[in-house]
Amino acid sequence: MSTLASLLVLGTGARMLSDVRAVLIAPTSSQVATRFRLGNGLEAEGKACVLGSALLHGPVKLAWDRVLEERSHDSDTSVIIHEFAHKIDMADGEASGTPPITDRTQARAFERAAEDTLEGLRSEGSAILRPYAGTNRAELFAVASETLFSDPDGLASAHPSLFRVLEAFYRQTPRRSSGVELT
Ligand SMILES: [Zn+2]
């Protein structure tokens, strides 16, 4: 867990995790009633599986069965990266979907890319970001952060402007392995 959380802040420094007050581990996930955005203005009601959560000025909660499942299946999703990305977003005191960026030009570029991506997600969906990213800007940042580290080339191809601002923010250029691995 700490390895994945550390991966997020390799370029920016651990101060980005200053809002992490505690990490609580639940043995299993739970379900809550929710509304889903389906795109084209359509919504559906149903139950959502809560795999983790991040509370502003509070703890990160993780369902440990999910953490283990993702690890055993080399999953493209990561509840750890997702929830800790929320905490990075919250490092400036709000869960706005824009992480702390001091450079104003960079912050404006981030806002523009995020807004454009969210609009596109809600109207046309995405080939790579799961629909939950369309919930709001905060979820877009968390889901896109997962994808940046699990499928950077896919994100760069499907959402180049979002990829560029995430890469600039995280100060990292993740790339998938070429597939050649020597042991
Ligand atoms: Zn989330």
d(CA 29, CA 65): 7
CATH for 66: 3.40.390.10
Q: Is residue 90 part of a domain?
A: yes
44 lies in which domain range?
A: 2-170
Distance 181 CA to ligand 1 centre (A): 33
Per-residue pLDDT tens over the stretch 3-61? 888 889 999 998 999 999 899 999 998 888 887 767 677 888 888 788 999 999 999 99
Rounded to the nearest whole angstrom, what is the distance from the C-alpha of residue 82 to the centroid of ligand 1?
6
- Contact criterion met (CB below 8 Å) for 26 and 67: no
Give domain status of residue 176, yes or no. no
DSSP alpha helix (H) spans, 2-128: 2-8, 64-72, 79-89, 104-124
Q: Report the separation in Å between the CA atom of 178 and the middle of ligand 1, taken as the mean of its atom positions.
A: 30
Amino acid present at 84: F
The model's pLDDT over 63-97, given as tens digits with 9 standing for 90+, comes to: 999 999 888 887 889 999 999 999 999 999 999 99
| Distance between Cα 160 and ligand 1 center (Å) | 22
- In angstroms, what is the span from residue 170 Cα to ligand 1's centroid? 18
Of 23-32, 124-133, 151-160, least confident by mean pLDDT is 23-32
Q: Is residue 59 part of a domain?
A: yes
Assigned domain for 181 exists: no
Pairing of strands 30-39, 23-26: unpaired
Q: Hey, CA dihedral for 70, 71, 75, 80, is it positive or negative?
A: positive
Within a domain: 148: yes
Asked if pLDDT for residue 121 goes beyond 80, the answer is yes
The answer to the question of residue 180 being in a domain is: no
Ligand 1 centroid to 153 CA: how many Å?
22
